[in-house]
Amino acid sequence: AKGTKESAPDKEAEPAEAQPTAEELLGREAADLALQFLGWKYKYGGSTPETGFDCSGFVCYIYGQLGYKLERVANDQSKQGAA
């Protein structure tokens, strides 16, 4: 009709972006901290920046910096926490 304005079709509302869970935030924080150690030397049995790291020592160190107490050895680490 004359004098009426056609309205644009209604757009479906975009779903709100999901907020990260506490676990996701912790994982991001751990990853960000771990990235600071790229290029550091591997040292069997190492668990500090001064000595170098092995894999489980690195995990133990990173999470220790975030306030978590993990066992030093990967086999023992695998028995901690909940699934």
Helix (H) or strand (E) holding 5: none
Provide the 3-class DSSP secondary structure of residue 48.
Answer: strand
Q: Higher confidence at residue 70 or residue 9?
A: 70
pLDDT of residue 17: 84
**C-alpha 30 chain-centroid distance:** 5
pTM for the model: 0.72
Following DSSP, what letter does each residue of 49-77 receive, concatenated? Answer: TTTEE-HHHHHHHHHHHTT----SSHHHH
Q: Which residues pair with 53 in a beta bridge?
A: 42, 47
Give the tens place of pLDDT for each residue, 1-21. Answer: 566 556 556 667 777 888 999
Confidence grade of residue 31 (pLDDT, cut at 50, 70, 90): very high
Q: How confident is the model at residue 82 (pLDDT cuts 50, 70, 90)?
A: confident
